[in-house]
Amino acid sequence: MIYVFVYGTLLEGESNHHIAAPYVRSIQEGAIRGRLFDTGPYPALSIEKQDRIVEGQWLEVTEEGLQAMDELEDYKGPGEDNEYERVWIQDISGDREGWVYSWEDVSGLREILSGSWRKYQMK
């Protein structure tokens, strides 16, 4: 199985979770180091500075699930012209690691200081 850390619209109950749902084998709450930013309809994660905590979920998915999420995030592969990069990261607890979609060019975006997309949307 493959673990993917999600922090925005792919979270359980959010607007794009249905894309991953058929391939999800388990879901666990988690947190990673990075910074979350508001793009408007969805958040962007930057792991360039790992001085804050970002809350989310670890989805355990099949290979087909990873492919479906790659398609959603328009991830074409390493070294390609991607809006998001798929990078390896570890949970702050140290007991889980896997993929996360990171958007490195966050200049001009407002930071979500809570580190939580769900909390931010409730404002």
Residue at token pair 């969805």: 42
Those residues with Cβ within 8 angstroms of residue 11's Cβ, 6 or more apart along the chain or in another chain: 17, 56, 57, 117, 118
73 is catalytic: yes
8 Å CB contact between 70 and 41: no
Residue type at 44 in one-letter notation:
A
Those residues with Cβ within 8 angstroms of residue 53's Cβ, 6 or more apart along the chain or in another chain: 31, 32, 33, 92, 115
Q: Which of these is catalytic: 29, 73, 83, 97? A: 73
Which residues are the active-site residues?
Answer: 73
